[in-house]
Amino acid sequence: MENLKTLLDELKLRSFSQSIEDILDRYPGSRKEFIEILECLCASEIADRRKKTITYRTEQAKFSQIQTVDTFDFKYNASTLKLKNRYLKLYTPELITQGLSVLFVGASGLGKTHLARALGYFLCQNRLRVRFTTLEGMSLDLKTADFTGTLRKAMLAYTQPALLIID
């Protein structure tokens, strides 16, 4: 029963959670089955909401393509192999709450964009806001917004996300 209440609370169905005991007491012979059915339904709803949130966050991030750390070949180059452990330490949602900034610097073709997108996608999977842009794209966007009088709104698009990736 505690598991069901936890699931109901996660779905923000607090009233439902408070009333369920009284309702289930009306059907003592089927109590266990009702709880199992409700747990399955709640788990399904939670999974669906998470999936939709991740999809939404990923779309809002404006990635031109999805890349993950699993598809990155750290053995490609001595410099990428050297940074592997430091990079993988970034894979915690605390990265954002600690207010850390990350700067990828290196020659062209080392995979900086791939690693930045992979980190951004990881945060999207943790239901955090991310925004990916190029310096040129952001500059053009902000200049246009300033010209049209919508700079404040445009600035929010770059300051509200938990992670801003400028390529």
Q: How would DSSP label each residue in 80-95?
A: HHHHHHHHHTT-STHH
Q: How far apart are CA 95 and CA 84, in angstroms?
A: 16
pLDDT in tens, 144-153: 999 999 999 9
Q: How far apart are CA 132 and CA 135, in angstroms?
A: 10
pLDDT band of 93, cuts 50, 70, 90: low
pLDDT band of 95, cuts 50, 70, 90: confident
Of the two residues 28 and 151, the one the predictor is more confident about is 151
Residue spans of the domains in the chain: they are 2-51, 69-166
Q: Is the pLDDT of residue 26 over 70?
A: yes
Q: Is the pLDDT of residue 5 over 70?
A: yes
Query: Is the distance from CB of 72 to CB of 82 less than 8 angstroms?
Result: no
What is the reported pTM?
A: 0.82
Assigned CATH topology for domain 69-166: Rossmann fold (3.40.50)
Query: Is the distance from CB of 167 to CB of 132 less than 8 angstroms?
Result: yes
Phi (first) and psi of residue 153, to 5 degrees = -65, -45
Q: Which of 103, 95, 107 is nearest to 135 (CA)?
A: 103
Query: Is the distance from CB of 53 to CB of 65 less than 8 angstroms?
Result: no
